[in-house]
Amino acid sequence: MDAVKRKKKSLKWDFVKYFLICIILILTGSLILGISADKLLSSGASEYVLLLSIADLVQSIAITLWSLLCVVACGIIFYHRKIEKPIGVLLEASENISNNRLDFSVEVPEKNELGDLCLSFEKMRIALRDNNLEMWRQVEERKRLNAAFAHDLRTPLTVLKGQSEMLVKYAPQMSGEKIISTAEMMGRHITRLEAYVGTMNELQRLEDVEIKKELVAIKDIEKQMRITGTTVCTKKEFVFRQNIPNASNVTIDISVVMQVYENLLSNALRYADTKIEVHIDKQDSLFVLTIADDGAGFTSKDLSNAMKPFYKAENETNNEHFGMGLNICKILCEKHGGYFKISNNNGAKVVAAFKE
């Protein structure tokens, strides 16, 4: 039964059917022509030898012409019904694919060999489209990583620059302990930068960041954040508050927390009028970082789109700003098991939470 079904769907079987029809038409027509000629001859024309010869010749020519007509007609009908449409579909598909237009579908007009070929073209089109989409996704993701890389290098480099300038300018008046403390701070930033560069080179996606939690003293977090804040916010008032005792510890990935902090500090610095406030707290098992500024705050459009990659506010004029900061912070907070929220409270307010 299956073999019969396969034959019915075969182009070869269709050709055989049309061929048999052609033979039947030729035989039927030849038989009719032969019978008609015999009737004419039997009516009295057979006594004339010349007329008999002419009648035989006409009969032969008529049968030949009829046979040719049947072959041509069956061939044209077979081509028109079984081959023309699939060939047209394949030619159109190949033209679209060669021009890299893959937003179409290949019709399968017949369930035969040509239909299978059309189906193969459709599978090839889908594979090419998926490969192109994946390639563009990887290009966009690499672009996103490069933008994130450039964005996140700014603040630690600014801190290092400020610390080095302070050493050059005030080193003769500074105590040995202060110089060593400043050098250690610079060393920590350099180590973070080295680790960050190595991590970014290995990553394919920001979501692949590995969270490495460790026990960190609150006093050390406060010290790093204060130095970074005062170094970066030289032209704005910097206010730091905490509701956590200095003797406490938290289990966090300090490099991720500082990366988020520096991103948010950089954003607040761009939009603040005169003051930036930083607040750290512990809520249940979360280490919560809040940064607010006294600028114009987020627009309604910003609140809906600011955490999307490469988003820029309509009034953004800084071409060096990639629109990646809040998106990076959101991804890192969620990777750390926390959350990320933006809102307005007499200016912009951002809350980043990290689960211990």
**CB 224, CB 258: distance < 8 Å:** yes
> Percentage of the chain with pLDDT > 70?
79
Q: What is the pLDDT of residue 2?
A: 43
Task: Select the more confidently predicted residue: 175 or 154.
Answer: 175
Q: What is the pLDDT of residue 53?
A: 67
**CB 202, CB 179: distance < 8 Å:** no
Confidence of residue 5 (pLDDT cuts 50, 70, 90): very low
Task: Give me the amino acid identity at 230.
Answer: T
Asked whether the predicted pLDDT for residue 10 surpasses 80, the reply is: no
CA 218 to chain centre: 41
Task: Select the more confidently predicted residue: 240 or 58.
Answer: 240
Q: What is the pLDDT of residue 352?
A: 96
Asked whether the predicted pLDDT for residue 261 surpasses 90, the reply is: yes
Overall residue count recorded for the chain in this entry: 356
Tell me the mean pLDDT in the region 210-216. 90
What angle (nearest 5°) sits at the alpha carbon of residue 143, between those of residues 142 and 146?
A: 85
User: Phi first, then psi: what are they for 224, rounded to 5°?
Assistant: -60, -45
> What is the spatial distance between Cα 228 and Cα 155, in angstroms, rounded to a whole number?
8
Task: Select the more confidently predicted residue: 314 or 4.
Answer: 314
Give the tens place of pLDDT for each residue, 85-127: 888 888 888 888 888 787 787 877 778 788 788 888 888 888 8
- Which SS3 state, helix, strand or coil, does residue 240 take? strand
Q: What is the pLDDT of residue 355?
A: 94
Bridge-based pairing of strands 249-252 and 286-293 is unpaired
Tell me the mean pLDDT in the region 265-284. 91
* Average pLDDT of the chain to the nearest whole number: 79
Confidence of residue 205 (pLDDT cuts 50, 70, 90): low
Residue in the structure block whose two tokens are 């459709």: 122
**CB 209, CB 332: distance < 8 Å:** yes
What angle (nearest 5°) sits at the alpha carbon of residue 316, between those of residues 312 and 322?
A: 45
Q: What is the pLDDT of residue 46?
A: 47
- Kindly state the DSSP code that residue 108 receives in the 8-state scheme: -
Residue 346, number of CB atoms within 10 A of its CB: 10
Bridge-based pairing of strands 237-242 and 275-283 is parallel
Give the tens place of pLDDT for each residue, 303-351: 888 887 666 666 655 544 545 678 888 888 998 999 999 999 889 999 9
Q: What is the dihedral of CA 19, 24, 30, 33, to 10 degrees?
A: -130
Tell me the mean pLDDT in the region 218-242. 90
Asked whether the predicted pLDDT for residue 4 surpasses 50, the reply is: no
Residue 145, number of CB atoms within 10 A of its CB: 19
How far the first Cα of the chain sits from its last, in Å, is 67
Classify the C-alpha dihedral 106-107-111-114 as positive or negative. Answer: negative
> What is the spatial distance between Cα 96 and Cα 49, in angstroms, rounded to a whole number?
67
> What is the spatial distance between Cα 14 and Cα 8, in angstroms, rounded to a whole number?
7
> What is the spatial distance between Cα 199 and Cα 202, in angstroms, rounded to a whole number?
5
Asked whether the predicted pLDDT for residue 165 surpasses 60, the reply is: yes
Confidence of residue 40 (pLDDT cuts 50, 70, 90): low
> What is the spatial distance between Cα 293 and Cα 265, in angstroms, rounded to a whole number?
9
Q: What is the pLDDT of residue 339?
A: 94
Confidence of residue 41 (pLDDT cuts 50, 70, 90): low
Q: What is the pLDDT of residue 1?
A: 38
